[in-house]
Amino acid sequence: MKLKYLITLILLSSIVSIIYGFTIEEEQVVFAQKCIGLGTVGIFLIAMPLFLIKESKGKKMKDYMLNEENIRKMKGKNLEKTDNQ
């Protein structure tokens, strides 16, 4: 539950940093670029991996991998769907 709030906080602060960077871009170009860059890093290198770790906890990665067993299962489901229609 706490990780959810941390991810939300990082995401909101990153978005605010990006917006702030675009608003001060004409007066302070270097600082504005740093704000935009830090906001982007916050979203894509911190918040997104934390979100993916949180959401994938307790799930079997084998179920999501494309191997021969899963291909056979998918083909079987597709055949069942075409037979029913």
Task: Provide the pLDDT for residue 78.
Answer: 65
Task: Provide the pLDDT for residue 82.
Answer: 64
Task: Provide the pLDDT for residue 84.
Answer: 62
Give the separation between CA 71 and CA 4, rounded to whole angstroms: 34
- Chain position carrying tokens 């899963």: 70
Q: Taking the CB of residue 55, how many other CB atoms lie within 10 A of it?
A: 9
Domain ranges within the chain, ordered by starting residue? 2-84
Task: Provide the pLDDT for residue 72.
Answer: 83
Give the separation between CA 21 and CA 78, rounded to whole angstroms: 50
pLDDT digit string (tens) for 71-85? 888 887 766 666 665
The residue that leads in pLDDT, 58 or 26, is: 26
The residue that leads in pLDDT, 39 or 64, is: 39
